[in-house]
Amino acid sequence: MELYFPTEFGERLAYCSAAVTALIGLFLMFAPGYAYRFLKLQVKEGRSEAYAEARSAGGFMVGFGLMAILLAQPMIYLALGASFGVAAFGRILSLMSDRGSIFLSLLLLVVQAALAALPFLYGLGYI
């Protein structure tokens, strides 16, 4: 099985979204402390379960991103786009109800919305 690189522009955008998902997952998996500092989160002293959660979520993102790249099917890209869309909706709920860093949350909302839109638009046939 050889690695497939898309020839259509829309599929390339969806492919890039999957690649970014896998890279973010790798960052979460192998550097959870840095990821938590970037997100302005703290691990409670003596409780390392938070690192396990970050690594687990990172592993999920790596697996999802790599499978989208390897399988290169519109339905997989739709699932990736829908997942990031729901995550962006959760970020909007957090912006409306939680007190946190507005700038960071808005920045991450834009990233999640872009990562949702690219594969979703390709999967639906708009690009």
SS3 of 28-74: the string is HHHCHHHHHHHCCCCCCCCCCHHHHHHHHHHHHHHHHHHHHHHHCCH
Number of domains in the chain: 1
User: Does residue 21 sit within a domain?
Assistant: yes
Q: What is the pLDDT of residues 108-118, one digit of tens each?
A: 999 999 999 99
pLDDT of residue 78: 93
Distance between alpha carbon 113 and the CA centroid of its chain, in Å? 10
Q: What is the pLDDT of residues 3-58, one digit of tens each?
A: 778 888 999 999 999 999 999 999 999 998 899 888 888 888 767 788 888 899 99
Q: Closest by alpha carbon to 90, among 112, 107, 120, 118?
A: 112
**What average pLDDT does range 60-83 have in this prediction?**
93
User: Does residue 33 sit within a domain?
Assistant: yes
How far apart, in whole angstroms, are the C-alpha atoms of residue 3 and residue 103? Answer: 38
User: Does residue 2 sit within a domain?
Assistant: no
CB 18 within 8 A of CB 69: yes
Q: Closest by alpha carbon to 67, among 33, 19, 102?
A: 19
Domain that holds residue 87: 9-124
User: Does residue 115 sit within a domain?
Assistant: yes
User: Does residue 1 sit within a domain?
Assistant: no
pTM: 0.87
Q: Which residue has the tokens 């390897």?
A: 70
User: Does residue 3 sit within a domain?
Assistant: no
pLDDT of residue 46: 64
User: Does residue 4 sit within a domain?
Assistant: no
